[in-house]
């Protein structure tokens, strides 16, 4: 990601978060790659292919595909 790219965060989000963790949660929930990975993991789980979830840390700045 080029350093000139920006992520727009609505003012309402900034006003509603109390911690950086909450802001990170919002950013990750709006990252299409992470959301697709979560959807696939959930579908695999529903199909009986459970795999333990590996914790991960998002990069900063966030990478949006």
Q: What is the pLDDT of residues 15-61, one digit of tens each?
A: 999 999 899 889 888 888 888 988 998 899 899 998 777 776 666 66
Note whether residue 57 is domain-resident: no
Rounded to whole angstroms, the Cα distance separating 50 from 60 reads 29
Cis status, amide bond into 61, omega within 30 of 0:
yes
The 3-class SS string of 1-46 reads: CCCCCCCCCCHHHHHHCCCHHHHHHHHHHCCHHHHHHHHHHHHHHH
The total number of structural domains that make up the chain: 1
Rounded to whole angstroms, the Cα distance separating 57 from 5 reads 20
Note whether residue 42 is domain-resident: yes
| pTM score of the predicted model | 0.56
Domain, as residue range, for 25: 14-46
Note whether residue 23 is domain-resident: yes
Note whether residue 63 is domain-resident: no
Note whether residue 32 is domain-resident: yes
């Amino acid at each position: 990601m080029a350093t000139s790219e920006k992520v727009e965060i609505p003012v309402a989000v900034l006003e509603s978060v109390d911690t950086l963790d909450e802001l990170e949660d919002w950013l990750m929930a709006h990252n299409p790659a992470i959301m697709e990975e979560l959807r696939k993991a959930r579908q695999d789980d529903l199909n009986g292919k459970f795999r333990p979830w590996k914790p991960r840390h998002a990069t900063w700045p966030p990478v949006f595909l």
